[in-house]
Structure 1
Amino acid sequence: MELVLDPAGKADPRSRDTVGRQLRWSLVSGEFRPGEKIKLRDLAAQFGVSVTPVREALAQLVAAGALEQTPQKSIRVPALSLPLYDELRRLRLVLEPDLAMRAVSGISDEEIRDLEALSESLLAREALTSSLYRVGVARFHFSLYAAARQPCTLRVVEGLWLQSGPYLSHLFPEYIGKSPSPGLRMDICDALRRRDAVAVRDILDQDLRSAMAYLITIIEKLIPQTS
């Protein structure tokens, strides 16, 4: 199944939509950091495209609130206020465990095997770069949520990740060494095999809360105390 965020697919790799998917993955997986300025020409060179599809994709992300334009017309990743981060956190804790629970009834054996393979690859966290690990974590979550077959809710969740994802970079490397998430992801796969929807929901909730509890102690020092 092609995910909302999936950079793969049949689209022209030079198109605005393809560039946009690649940029969204970069945001949700923490490749861009809060406050970072986005350099149009560097991205065009990275993606092997002209500046036009990059400019168009960035404009879409600005319109969606995932990026912001400064008075000097440059584009950067927003630094969230504490109240806004808390709102994003609360919404994610409502929507994501529910999507995980709803995935149980319709997820295929093949999709479960894919999640298991991804979970196993993430167990070797010390051998992975921060970037590979963060992308893998995001792909696990969105693969699970996509199995719920709830496209409207999934798009809302994507929007929440687009805004909160840049702060994932602050989980590494300190949190990763002691995070329970690798084991919890395997537990989710086991619960999917048993078709235990409540267990999937509760384990996913535990995983989210663990990461968010650690992250909030870090970003309280980084996020401006404004509304």
Structure 2
Amino acid sequence: MGQTEPAEALRQTAHDRVYRELRARLIGGRMAPGRSVTLRGLAAELGVSPMPVREAVGRLVAERALEMKANRRVSVPEMTPRDIAELVFAREALEPEAARRALAGIDRKAVARLRRTDDELEQHLQLGNVEGYVAANHAFHFTIYRACGSAVLVPLIESLWLRIGPFMRVVYGRIGTNWVVDHHEAAIRAIEGGDAEALALAIRDDIREGMGLMTGGSLQADAPETGQGEAALTRGGL
């Protein structure tokens, strides 16, 4: 018994690490729509055995962030216009409310962290660094949301970002970051002013700014892959 417990603990540690890494890749758009991978390929890339990859992928399939095809290859699920509309609705319902509830839990250190993150985000915008922008944007939002202390709202919001991340990465990769309107400064001002409603409004506007672009184009899941492994974006479908 004593010999099997450490082995089981190591297996769980590897599984958790792989799960966190795959989640980060999805949220950051590093697993692109239209590109499938094998479990063995992922295992080799992550430097682990196939078992923790299979377990982590199984969890993400259950969360509908990934799908397992008949040929045992793994990919980001396709999204229809209705899927996009429902994700917009869910984000607008949950994220402003989480921000509203978070206000009381955001201290001066958190505000300073938000400002640093927003400064980084601005630098990425100016440089056209899509991956850096996506990472900083996620860090900014979840610094706020996690301050609400909800064991229900935050995981639900994370699940939405898991599903939308790969597609937003495609959008940013196609049109760049120059179009982005930064509502984060309004959010910080609302926090500093203790105005929960203004904070919720800033978050809602930020969601609409980003998601609005997706409702103006369509992502072709069957399009040929580019050098970055991203699906093609055409206008007028979503």
Letter in 1 for 2:65: A
**Separation (CA, whole Å) in 1 of partners of 2:221 and 2:65:** 16
1:117 and 2:116 correspond: yes
Moved more, 44-53 or 67-76: 44-53
TM-aligned CA deviation for residue 42 of structure 1: 3.6
Structure 2: gaps spanning 5 or more residues: 1-9, 223-238
Question: Aligned residue for 1:166?
Answer: 166
Question: Aligned residue for 1:21?
Answer: 20
SS in 2 for 1:172: helix
TM-score (norm 1): 0.85
CA deviation string 1:58-104 (max 9, x = no partner): 11111221111112221111011111221111011110011111111
**Separation (CA, whole Å) in 2 of partners of 1:188 and 1:41:** 43
Show the 5 A alignment for 1:42-191. Answer: 42-124=41-123, 125-127=125-127, 129-173=129-173, 174=175, 176-181=177-182, 184-191=183-190
**Separation (CA, whole Å) in 2 of partners of 1:55 and 1:129:** 32
The answer on whether the counterparts of 2:121 and 2:132 sit within 8 Å (CA) in structure 1 is no
**Separation (CA, whole Å) in 2 of partners of 1:130 and 1:137:** 10
Letter in 2 for 1:152: V
Q: Using a 3 Å threshold, how does the CA distance of structure 1 residues 168 and 110 change in structure 2: closer, same or farther?
A: same
The answer on whether the counterparts of 1:97 and 1:202 sit within 8 Å (CA) in structure 2 is yes
TM-aligned CA deviation for residue 14 of structure 1: 5.5
Structure 1: gaps spanning 5 or more residues: 1-10
CA deviation string 1:27-70 (max 9, x = no partner): 12211122321333343343332222122111111122111111
The answer on whether the counterparts of 1:13 and 1:19 sit within 8 Å (CA) in structure 2 is no
TM-aligned CA deviation for residue 198 of structure 1: 1.0
The answer on whether the counterparts of 1:82 and 1:223 sit within 8 Å (CA) in structure 2 is no
The answer on whether the counterparts of 2:11 and 2:52 sit within 8 Å (CA) in structure 1 is no
Moved more, 39-48 or 80-89: 39-48
**Separation (CA, whole Å) in 1 of partners of 2:47 and 2:12:** 9
TM-score (norm 2): 0.81
Q: Using a 3 Å threshold, how does the CA distance of structure 1 residues 46 and 74 change in structure 2: closer, same or farther?
A: closer
Letter in 1 for 2:143: S
Q: Using a 3 Å threshold, how does the CA distance of structure 1 residues 147 and 12 change in structure 2: closer, same or farther?
A: farther
Q: Using a 3 Å threshold, how does the CA distance of structure 1 residues 58 and 86 change in structure 2: closer, same or farther?
A: same
TM-aligned CA deviation for residue 175 of structure 1: 5.0
SS in 2 for 1:59: helix
Question: Aligned residue for 2:212?
Answer: 213
Question: Aligned residue for 1:8?
Answer: none
Q: Using a 3 Å threshold, how does the CA distance of structure 1 residues 12 and 106 change in structure 2: closer, same or farther?
A: farther
SS in 2 for 1:75: strand
Structure label with greater radius of gyration: 2
Moved more, 128-137 or 85-94: 128-137
**Separation (CA, whole Å) in 2 of partners of 1:12 and 1:57:** 11
Letter in 1 for 2:220: L
Aligned residues: 211
**Separation (CA, whole Å) in 2 of partners of 1:12 and 1:193:** 45
Q: CA RMSD in A?
A: 2.1
